[in-house]
Structure 1
Amino acid sequence: MNSRARKPVARIPVFIALVAYCGIIISLTMLKAFFMIGLLWQPENQRVRGLSLVPLNDLWESASLFTQIFGYGGNFAFFVPFGVLAYLLVGHIGATTLLGAGFSLLIEISQYIFQLGFSDIDDLLFNTLGAAAGALIASLFGSRAQWVWVTLTTVLTAVFIVLVILGPSLGDPDRVAEVNASGIPYENGFSGRSGA
């Protein structure tokens, strides 16, 4: 364990924070068919099954840089808090990375089996890298920062719960602009689709 981590970890609050954050991860990866936050997604469109086993496929298949940044960067960032909290409990970067990989693999398999989302090898890769980065961050700061992580997770969980409760009332559907595959809004409301 890191020499800076001399202060003992308050395991119960860290464990509770990790469980709460895992709940957020599961909600945003597998349960979007059952709730909404504003107009970020349509629950009725979330019951899908797809599988991509080609690593880094979005680098050459994606029509927009936003998709790549949001997909890869978002999956990486999504698992950093997981890695921080898990490291505080297990105290080893390798074990934390394996926990992140295992949790992500469980999510990807469950999404496919239960038709709750698109299973992608890139999600597994970047989630695992995010967990490893979180473990590295936690190892650098040691257990002295544990209350910062627990507090941030508590605030994030509270904000998430409020967003879910307010979900359908957030956003103005009249102000939503359709965009093309490049992320550019259609001009004059013309989407180029027939029967729209």
Structure 2
Amino acid sequence: MGFLANKKKSKAFLVVFGVYLALLVWCILFKFSLRPEEIPHLRGINLIPYAASVVVNGKVQISEIIENMLVFLPFGLCISAFYPDSEIQNRILLASGLSLFFEVTQYIFAIGASDITDVIDNTLGAVIGILLYLGMKKIWKEKTGKIITILGAVLEVLFLALLFFTFAANGMF
């Protein structure tokens, strides 16, 4: 495992990855809700890629596609750092499986619309993260894991600060 063989670095990475996964669950399943009653209760399913789910007022919402890719890009980076010797298709399959798990969970518990478009976009985001990891590995070699850990920690702190100020400004505490 190289980078993760160092226990101190490994713990830091696992904390960053764990916080990312917690934020991912909070984002996708709980829609950043602070109280259970804020979680929307709806059940829908779309099995036609890029159909109604990304079309609003007759226009394709590119922002939703990009957001879905961006939210899973770190997963591709982290899973590549965690399993650097695994086959790329296995990493992609893991990302697709996680995304599918989220969509099925939303459907079962009626906490969101399940959409094949989300699975596709999330998987594409993870693929971009995997490719980014491969590019970083060529440039920074053994420092790649450390860079991902530091960058992830900084971005998580900034994101949590932004959420805090957004919630505070809207009187949500």
Same fold by TM (over 0.5)? yes
Q: Which has the larger radius of gyration?
A: 1
Two-structure CA RMSD over aligned residues (Å): 2.6
Structure 1 distance, partners of 2:27, 2:78, is 19
* Per-residue deviation, 1:89: 1.0
Please tell me whether residue 49 in structure 1 is matched to residue 43 in structure 2.
yes
Say which structure is richer in strand: 2
Any idea what SS the aligned residue of 2:3 has? coil
8 Å CA contact 2:76–2:130 kept in 1: the answer is yes
Amino acid across the alignment from 2:19: A
Task: Map residues 183-194 of structure 1 onto 2, 5 A cutoff.
Answer: none
Q: 2:70 aligns with which of 74, 77, 90?
A: 77
**Who is 2:21 aligned against?**
22
SS at match of 1:34: coil
CA 1:33–1:80 in 2, change beyond 3 Å: closer, same or farther?
closer
Structure 1 pair 45–114 and aligned structure 2 pair: CA distance change class (3 A) = closer
Residues 156-171 of structure 1 mapped to structure 2, 5 A cutoff: 156-171=155-170
Q: What is the CA–CA distance in structure 2 between the aligned matches of 1:13 and 1:33, rounded to whole Å?
A: 25
3-state SS of 2:50 partner = coil
CA apart distance, 1:163: 4.0
Structure-2 residue corresponding to 1:98: 93
C-alpha contact (below 8 Å) 2:55/2:61 kept by paired residues: no
Deviation at 1:151, TM superposition (A): 1.6
Q: So what's the TM-score if we normalise by structure 2?
A: 0.78
Relative to structure 1, is the Cα distance of residues 139 and 29 closer, same or farther in structure 2, using a 3 angstrom cutoff?
Answer: same
TM-score, structure 1 normalization: 0.70
Residues 165, 59 of structure 1: CA spacing in aligned structure 2 closer, same or farther, 3 A cutoff?
A: closer
CA distance in structure 2 between the partners assigned to 1:79 and 1:168 by the alignment: 24
Instruction: Name the residue aligned to 1:112.
Output: 107
Residues in 1 aligned to 2:23 and 2:32: alpha-carbon distance in whole angstroms: 14
Q: Which moved more, 1:49-58 or 1:103-112?
A: 49-58
Between the two proteins, the alignment pairs up a number of residues equal to 159
The answer to whether the 8 A contact 2:31-2:39 is kept is no
Give, in whole Å, the separation in 2 of the partners of 1:77 and 1:8: 27
Cα distance per residue 1:156-191 (max 9 Å; x no partner): 32233334444433259xxxxxxxxxxxxxxxxxxx
Q: CA deviation at 1:94?
A: 1.6
1:132 correspondence with 2:124: no
Task: Give the conservation status (yes or no) of the 8 Å contact 2:68–2:125.
Answer: yes
Bigger Cα displacement from structure 2, 50-59 vs 19-28: 50-59
Match of 1:154 in 2: 153
Judging by fraction of residues, say which structure has more helix.
2
- Runs of 5+ consecutive residues of structure 1 not aligned to the other structure: 1-6, 37-42, 173-196
Does the residue aligned with 2:2 lie in a helix, a strand or coil?
coil
